Structure 1
Amino acid sequence: MVLLIFLIFVLNGTAAGYSTVDSLLEEAKYQAQVAGRPDDAARLYEKVLSGFAQDSNAMVLARRGLSFCRMVMGETAKIETLAVTHDDKRKGEGYLLMWRQAFGSGNITGAVLSGERIVLTVDEGYLVVVRKSDGKILWARRGVDSRIAPAVLDDRIFMPVRNGSLFCLDGMTGEPLWNSRCGTATSPVRVGPGNVLFLSAGREAIALDSRSGKRLWRTVLPDESRMAEAPVLCAGYLLFRMAFSGIAALNPKSGAIVWTSTDPALLPLISGEETFFIVNKGSLYCLDGFTGKTLWNRENEAVILSLKMEDHGPLCLLDESGRLSGLDPESGRQLFTFQASPGALLQNRGRLFVADRKGRISAYSEDGSPLWLYPTGETDHLELVILGNALGVLTENSGFFLLDPTCSRKEDPRLAPVRLEAEMMIKSGLSKSAERSLQEALSTLAPGDPAMNRQLAHLLLQEGRIQPALDAFERYIASSDPLESGDKALLDNLRTLTGAVWTASVEHVGRFSPFYLQDNRIAVLGVGEVRILSLENGELLWRYRLRKPDAALQTGLMIGSELFCHDGINLICLDLSSQHERFHLEVRENITQFAAAGNDLAIGTWNNGCLFVNRVNGRAERRDFRKIKAIFPLTADNALWLVGLEGGVMRRHGNDLQFLEQGEKLSALPVMTNGHVILQTASGFCRVYAAGTGNKELEFRTGQPFSSVTADASRLYFIFPNSGFGALDLKDGKRIWQRRDMAYGFENIQCSDGLLAFSGNGRVVAMRAEDGKTVQECRVVGRVASTLLSGKTLLVRAENGILYRFDVK
């Protein structure tokens, strides 16, 4: 039937049911992909090109489909580029991405609109001006302070440099018009009434004439102003948020301090005409701009991450749980709320934009309806800024994106054809062409598109290209949530590529993601749960769910079959053999770490105290130590050490307490390993003690603290922040071996049975402890969060929630 309709269409030119462009494209897809008739599909694509020239989106789809069909038929054809043309934009086809511009690997730190130009600051001190319509670079200058965002007025750009001057540049050419010695600026310029320029330089607030750069006044603030944050105007006053002592309001004409407030503000100030708003963790305050007095405050259940308000609009906040709420700015009454994702928030013309931690930009209406989603592929840090009628996205590694915030499509319409075309190419054996097509689209259209990244990863996997396949899988996992749905095929692919014994999906916590090994059981702490896995195969043995599902477990200790952990409020004891909770105890303390102390569990705190909890009945006793501040308990050879981060070391053996020394501040956390206590001091010394006797075994000067350190019976192993690492003799402190490795940037070191495991970025390298020679290199997907080396078994937990087991050969 389909073939009959198709023949009628070819003979007559049109036919009922196939006279629309959509039906033509659908039939062409069917002929190319299902029926396997690229010649017939090509004729349909040609029909679209000749009869629907007014539909630019259809023209793009047809040109790409025709190029594919000709390629399959053995004809040479160049695949059309997907760059947006001016005609496309004028016809309002709704392309989400207007353009993208990368500047090497530079971090984009600021963006502002100047007429039809966009002024950008880029790492390494660059000021770059690009054309708004297509991103073409018009001019660039080096030497500015790229930590500070630019400011513009008419056709002039105001930009500080690090030698203490503020430059005024011609926006058309970049040529200097004037410069003013005002000290090292710590804030962007704020253009105020009368075109006066306001900024801060450390503890000084400064006003300059925008025409000449002449200083109008200078005022000393009670404290240093916040770095890279411009003052705001409210109630006719100039408000500076200071680093430690609150807010200062200045008269913009004279610079006189009108009032100060000690209210702590942890986010940039948001101002209205006569009121302004500050955030302190989960508390939101509305203050009077005339007096600085609190008008109302509101408590939020979770920590507030971002606060925004546009003229005559609601006050919008986004919290750590991903809840997005709109409030009446006059009363604090809630107007709307819906679930989004935690990240950065921007508000514009009744639309809300969220840049989440997976690099996705989502647009919502105020009723919570999703409008569109764009995956940038950038997971480190994103900033959003409105630039006229466009939305700018500033990234650390992926350049600058300009999006159309009014787009009415759920995603960019150019993405689906690329995915389909790549799939057809792979089925037809044109893997190289498919790879080129996917790489081009990921580079120019949507670097973080999960579907295309997954297609590319599987294509590279089939070709046996391990390193590129791992990179593609990493981008896929970073921009989507495949592990939350238990994607076993993905875990199997990663096991194959990495050479791991097994891979398992565990809860993602972040940079600090501890896990513990005891009796062939692995205890993995996560958000709202503890997972117990089998060391043999990684299978889940038991899952314990917390009473508070969003609580993050980040402190724990395994003693035999018992696991102790803390969720920020409660100490929990789990029996892993019988798989039940033994007890939980309310401990509302800021915990440092745990240590076993005979029948007790020693719990260090940041406020000079240590809790001793009986492991049998859960009874707790608190002891305060005046000479020891910020206590870290450590245990080895039946001795309990209490080490103060701010100074003070005490050792307890049995019932005997021994105060070893007042000591000095430590520059790194204390380490207990293989019967040694290792302390690094702020003055640059490293001290090694015998844990059992308390005797000082070794003291030497390091100059700078080790970023990670461990030891065995005879050697101390270290990593320097500059990527140097090596081994010292514990008897005399002499260097045994040392190496430098700039490629991996090692951050952590583990030691066990003559082996070392160095971890950094997405790699873990096993080396021989005696000479530092590499034994095995293990590549994982994602940044390494934590490692554990036991004998020849190496466990690696990545920040994305994947746990790997390797056997070191």
Structure 2
Amino acid sequence: MFKFQYFLPFFCYTMVVFSADWPKFGGSNGTFFSEEKGLRSFWGNEEPEILWKLDAGFGYSSIIESDGKAFTKGYNEGKINLICVDVSIGKIIWKKAFPCPRGDNYFKGGSRSTPVIDGDNLFVLLHNGDFYCLDSQSGKILWNVNVVEDLGGTRPTWGFAASPMILGKKVILPIGGEKGGIIALDREQGEVLWRAGKYGASYSTPFKSKKEDHIIIFHDSGLSIHDVGDGRELFTYPHKTRYGINASQPLEFGKNIFISSAYGKGSALIDFSGKIPKTIWKTDKISAQMSSSILKEDHIYGIHGQAGGHSKFSTIFCLNANSGRIAWQKKGYGLGSLIMVRETIIFLSESGEIALIRATPDKFEELASFQLLSGKDNWIPPSYANGRLHCRSSDGNWICVKMGTDQ
């Protein structure tokens, strides 16, 4: 039952958040959580209105929305196409094509990382290492580099998949290699500002700490924390999996950080308040392979499981962040991805089904469900902005549906 008196201060603070953009991977704060009001959670026998559809091309890039425009990229006939769309009508404003192989190594291939928009600049990393800064209004290329050929990075097995991170005048990229696992570039010219770390390129996107002037990155060998100013590595915590895959986004929880991986590695909560990182708890009962988990109050919501023959045994879970104890798990949805809008989880299954789930540790409660996409391997996180839900399949079917109430 909704405890109004408990949430009153929080509710009053967020009343003004009627709508919000989704300008980067994971939304405005990179946590896959939105404070936007107006999401319709109960549908009965109805289904959301499809506003428009587009073909985005093969791939796994998520969709971003900012200032009335949406962007994503996908593969088609030897090229990665970057698309800018007018979200009000679903019309392509401009499209930019970049030569790039499909890169279908044990999966469909296509695009990987998600573009980032910051002001009038759009930053795009291709899985072959080509990196571009463009004018978001016109698609004009302002500058570009290849992080392997020009910067000495090392392409990971499944290609560069992490999104760029923008910090003021810096662009942070996890490029891997002996010259520096992570690199900072000047956003205006692309010049190298610093390099740090000796680890492989990350499939997970780096992010800034809420508490300190630090960058947190989950790379092939574990978790590292760097100083924003000069890149100095301040902490490192080993967490190596088979194939060097750490793809799920870490969660910062006070002075602690939650990490999770598949391939038999599991999850852990690490305390970074001292001089040496300390493990608070570990569990092999929760393993998030690709989908990022979400922190709400003192509970973590996510997807346990791994792609392939065992993906049908995946579960949606809720666990206590402090103790690591599982509050509930639910089978039957398969692998997928999720985001959260205030009190509601939006889950997109790998087969294209949307499920709306109440975000509470008390019990699992589905509020609504409907089939939206077709195909399989639909691991791309949906995006929610200004009452619109953007979903795309790995085959490139981009669907925009109305999920918000009229305001």
Sort the TM-score into its range (normalised by shorter chain): 0.5 to 0.7
- Aligned with residue 230 of structure 1, among 205, 225, 231: 205
- Give the aligned partner of residue 44 of structure 1: none
Q: TM-score, normalised by structure 1?
A: 0.35
1:392–1:297 distance in 2 versus 1, CA, 3 Å: same
Structure 1 residue identity aligned to 2:377: D
| Structure richer in helix, relative to its length | 1
1:331–1:233 distance in 2 versus 1, CA, 3 Å: farther
Q: State the Cα deviation string for residues 385-422 of structure 1 (Å, max 9, x = none).
A: 324243322212251122344579xxxxxxxxxxxxxx
Q: State the Cα deviation string for residues 768-803 of structure 1 (Å, max 9, x = none).
A: xxxxxxxxxxxxxxxxxxxxxxxxxxxxxxxxxxxx
- Give the aligned partner of residue 358 of structure 2: 365
Q: In structure 2, what is the Cα distance between the partners aligned to 1:407 and 1:376?
A: 22
- Give the aligned partner of residue 448 of structure 1: none
Equivalent residues, number: 312
Q: Does 1:217 align with 2:194?
A: yes
Q: Does the 8 Å contact 2:379/2:394 carry over to 1?
A: yes
Q: In structure 1, what is the Cα distance between the partners aligned to 2:65 and 2:255?
A: 27
- Give the aligned partner of residue 202 of structure 1: 176
Q: Does 1:284 align with 2:267?
A: yes
- Aligned with residue 278 of structure 2, among 273, 286, 293: 293
Q: In structure 2, what is the Cα distance between the partners aligned to 1:332 and 1:404?
A: 36
- Give the aligned partner of residue 122 of structure 1: 74
Q: CA deviation at 1:101?
A: 0.9
Q: In structure 1, what is the Cα distance between the partners aligned to 2:378 and 2:259?
A: 23
- Give the aligned partner of residue 23 of structure 2: none
Q: CA deviation at 1:143?
A: 1.3
- Give the aligned partner of residue 90 of structure 2: 135
Q: Does 1:401 align with 2:399?
A: yes
Q: Does 1:188 align with 2:166?
A: no
- Aligned with residue 63 of structure 2, among 107, 111, 121: 111
Q: In structure 2, what is the Cα distance between the partners aligned to 1:233 and 1:125?
A: 29
1:327–1:351 distance in 2 versus 1, CA, 3 Å: same
Q: CA deviation at 1:347?
A: 2.6
Q: In structure 2, what is the Cα distance between the partners aligned to 1:156 and 1:175?
A: 10
SS of alignment partner, residue 374 of structure 2: coil
SS of alignment partner, residue 193 of structure 2: strand
Q: In structure 2, what is the Cα distance between the partners aligned to 1:253 and 1:353?
A: 36
SS of alignment partner, residue 382 of structure 1: coil
What pairs up with 1:774-785 in 2 under 5 angstroms? none
1:108–1:135 distance in 2 versus 1, CA, 3 Å: farther
SS of alignment partner, residue 110 of structure 1: coil
- Give the aligned partner of residue 49 of structure 1: none
Percent of aligned positions with the same letter in both sequences? 19
Q: In structure 2, what is the Cα distance between the partners aligned to 1:161 and 1:337?
A: 36
Q: In structure 2, what is the Cα distance between the partners aligned to 1:101 and 1:163?
A: 25
Q: Does the 8 Å contact 1:307/1:316 carry over to 2?
A: no
Q: In structure 2, what is the Cα distance between the partners aligned to 1:209 and 1:356?
A: 38
Q: In structure 2, what is the Cα distance between the partners aligned to 1:94 and 1:406?
A: 12
Q: CA deviation at 1:354?
A: 2.6
- Give the aligned partner of residue 174 of structure 1: 139
Q: Does the 8 Å contact 2:218/2:247 carry over to 1?
A: no
Q: CA deviation at 1:163?
A: 8.1
Q: Does the 8 Å contact 1:101/1:400 carry over to 2?
A: yes
Q: State the Cα deviation string for residues 434-458 of structure 1 (Å, max 9, x = none).
A: xxxxxxxxxxxxxxxxxxxxxxxxx
Q: Does 1:241 align with 2:238?
A: no
- Aligned with residue 351 of structure 1, among 319, 344, 356: 344
Q: Does the 8 Å contact 2:354/2:370 carry over to 1?
A: yes
Q: In structure 1, what is the Cα distance between the partners aligned to 2:171 and 2:371?
A: 36
Q: Does the 8 Å contact 1:189/1:198 carry over to 2?
A: yes
- Aligned with residue 95 of structure 1, among 24, 39, 48: 48
Q: Does the 8 Å contact 2:199/2:219 carry over to 1?
A: yes
SS of alignment partner, residue 106 of structure 1: coil
SS of alignment partner, residue 381 of structure 1: coil
- Give the aligned partner of residue 227 of structure 2: 251
- Give the aligned partner of residue 318 of structure 1: 303
Q: CA deviation at 1:353?
A: 2.5
Q: CA deviation at 1:293?
A: 2.5
Q: CA deviation at 1:269?
A: 3.0
Q: In structure 2, what is the Cα distance between the partners aligned to 1:199 and 1:151?
A: 12
Q: In structure 2, what is the Cα distance between the partners aligned to 1:313 and 1:157?
A: 34
Q: In structure 1, what is the Cα distance between the partners aligned to 2:300 and 2:400?
A: 25
Structure 2 residue identity aligned to 1:155: D
Q: In structure 1, what is the Cα distance between the partners aligned to 2:74 and 2:378?
A: 14
Structure 2 residue identity aligned to 1:239: I
Q: Does the 8 Å contact 1:372/1:407 carry over to 2?
A: no
Q: Does the 8 Å contact 1:341/1:354 carry over to 2?
A: no
Q: CA deviation at 1:333?
A: 4.1
1:403–1:195 distance in 2 versus 1, CA, 3 Å: farther
Structure 2 residue identity aligned to 1:292: P
Q: State the Cα deviation string for residues 613-647 of structure 1 (Å, max 9, x = none).
A: xxxxxxxxxxxxxxxxxxxxxxxxxxxxxxxxxxx
Q: CA deviation at 1:121?
A: 1.0
Q: CA deviation at 1:372?
A: 2.7
Q: Which runs of 5+ in 2 are unaligned?
A: 1-42, 101-110, 306-312
Q: CA deviation at 1:112?
A: 1.8
Q: CA deviation at 1:339?
A: 4.1
Q: In structure 2, what is the Cα distance between the partners aligned to 1:356 and 1:162?
A: 24
Q: Does 1:268 align with 2:253?
A: no
Q: CA deviation at 1:132?
A: 1.6
Q: In structure 2, what is the Cα distance between the partners aligned to 1:216 and 1:308?
A: 32
Q: CA deviation at 1:374?
A: 2.4
Q: Which runs of 5+ in 1 are unaligned?
A: 1-91, 409-809
Give the alignment's Cα RMSD to 1 decimal: 3.2
Q: State the Cα deviation string for residues 48-76 of structure 1 (Å, max 9, x = none).
A: xxxxxxxxxxxxxxxxxxxxxxxxxxxxx
Q: In structure 2, what is the Cα distance between the partners aligned to 1:162 and 1:319?
A: 26
- Aligned with residue 373 of structure 2, among 373, 376, 394: 376
